[in-house]
Amino acid sequence: MDWKSRRITTLLEAALLEDKAANDITTALTVDPALRATAAVVAKEPCVVAGIGCISAFLTLFGKMKPSGRFEVVSHPEIFDGVHVRKGQSIAVIRANAASILSTERVILNLMQRMSGIATLTNEFVTAVRAAKSKTKILDTRKTIPGLRALDKYAVCCGGGINHRLDLQDGILIKNNHISLGGGLPAVLARALAGRKPGQTVQVEVRTPGELSQAIAGNADSILLDNMTPKEVKRAVALIRRSLPKAAIEASGNMTLKTVAAYAKTGVDFISVGALTHSATAVDLSMRITADLL
C-alpha cells in the first residue's frame, strides 16, 4: 500500500471511529443482526459524481471493526467518478448485512456529498472556460479541510480540474509573505532558484507591475498573477510572453463563475480557484434501503 492509500485508509477509519459506527446502539436494538438488505445511493440533484470507491472502502473497514459478512457494491457501467448524473438517478447499489449498511450510511453519504460537490463546482468552472474557447486549465489550491486534502484534490480531478501543490514540499511557490520576510522578491527568487533540486520549478506570486518586472528579471519559471483585473492580467501575459516565453502563467484571486471566462481570455495557462475546495456546496445524495426477501 503506497502512502496515498495509507493516508486515505486512515482518514476513512477516523470517520468510522468518530461516528462510533461499530457501536451503533439504535441499529443493534432495532434490526435483526442476520438481516440482509439492498441500498441504492441516489442523486437528489444533477451533479458530477466523485467518491464511489469510498463505499466499498468503508464497508471493508467496518467489517474489520465488526464482522458483518460479505457485501457487494455495484453500479451501472456508465456510472463512475467524473460522470454527470441526473436528479433521481441511482449511483451505486449496495448488497450487504442490513446493520452494516445502516451503521456506515452517514459516513458514506457525508464523504460522497462533499466530493461530488467539489467535482460539480470544478466542472462548472471548466465548462465556463471551455465556453470562452480557451485552453486555460483550472487548478485547485491548498485551501482544503485539514485531513481531507487527498480526497478533495481527487474530487477536483473528477470535475476536470488539475491539482496544484499537494503540500508544502510538493513545489516551490514564493508568496507575498516569503517576499516581505525574505528581503524582497529579487533576493528570495535568486535563493530559491539556486537552492532548488533538479527538476523543481520556482513559481513566484506577483501583485504589482514592479513585482512582475522583478520576477521577469529574475527568470522565474512560473509567474502567478494575484488579484489583478482581467485587463491587468492581459497586459502582464503579453509582457511575460515576450520576455520569458517558456514561463508558465497563472492567475488567481477571488475567481468566480461570473469572472473566470474573462480571465481565461487573457491567455493565461492556468487559473487557480480556492473556492473549489473551501466553498463547494455538498451535493444532495440519499440512501434508499430495503430488506432482502428470504
Same domain as 285, residue 273: no
Same domain as 138, residue 237: yes
DSSP at 246? T
Same domain as 163, residue 107: no
Q: What is the pLDDT of residue 294?
A: 62
Spell out, as residue ranges, where the chain has pLDDT lower than 70. Answer: 1-4, 294
Q: How far apart are CA 129 and CA 153, in angstroms?
A: 19
Give the SS3 label for residue 240. helix
Of the candidates 95, 165, 175, 207, the residue annotated as catalytic is 175
> Is 140 a known active-site residue?
no
Tell if the pTM clears 0.75, that is, is over it: yes
Of the candidates 66, 106, 235, 265, the residue annotated as catalytic is 106
Of the candidates 24, 105, 152, 205, the residue annotated as catalytic is 205
Q: How far apart are CA 115 and CA 283, in angstroms?
A: 8
Same domain as 147, residue 85: no
Same domain as 33, residue 152: no
Q: How do residues 176-222 score in pLDDT, each as one tens digit?
A: 999 999 999 999 999 999 999 999 999 999 999 999 999 999 999 99
Q: What is the pLDDT of residue 156?
A: 98
DSSP at 45? S
Find out whether 116 and 49 touch, Cβ atoms under 8 Å: yes
Q: What is the pLDDT of residue 7?
A: 85
Total number of domains constituting the chain: 2
Q: What is the pLDDT of residue 2?
A: 65
Same domain as 109, residue 64: yes
Q: Identify residue 48 by its one-letter amino acid code.
A: V
Same domain as 75, residue 21: yes
Find out whether 185 and 215 touch, Cβ atoms under 8 Å: yes
Of the candidates 24, 105, 211, 226, the residue annotated as catalytic is 226
Of the candidates 7, 143, 207, 235, the residue annotated as catalytic is 143
Same domain as 205, residue 111: no
For residue 146, the domain's CATH number is 3.20.20.70
> Is 288 a known active-site residue?
no
Q: At 252, phi and psi to the nearest 5? A: -150, 170
DSSP 77-138: TT--TT-EE-TT-EEEEEEEEHHHHHHHHHHHHHHHHHHHHHHHHHHHHHHHHHHTT--PEE
Same domain as 247, residue 184: yes
Same domain as 187, residue 84: no
For residue 106, the domain's CATH number is 3.90.1170.20
Q: What is the pLDDT of residue 3?
A: 58
Same domain as 270, residue 138: yes
Say which residue the cell 441500498 belongs to.
39
> Is 175 a known active-site residue?
yes
Q: What is the pLDDT of residue 5?
A: 81
Same domain as 142, residue 24: no
Q: What is the pLDDT of residue 76?
A: 84
Could you list the residue range(s) of the whole structural domain that residue 185 is in? Answer: 126-278
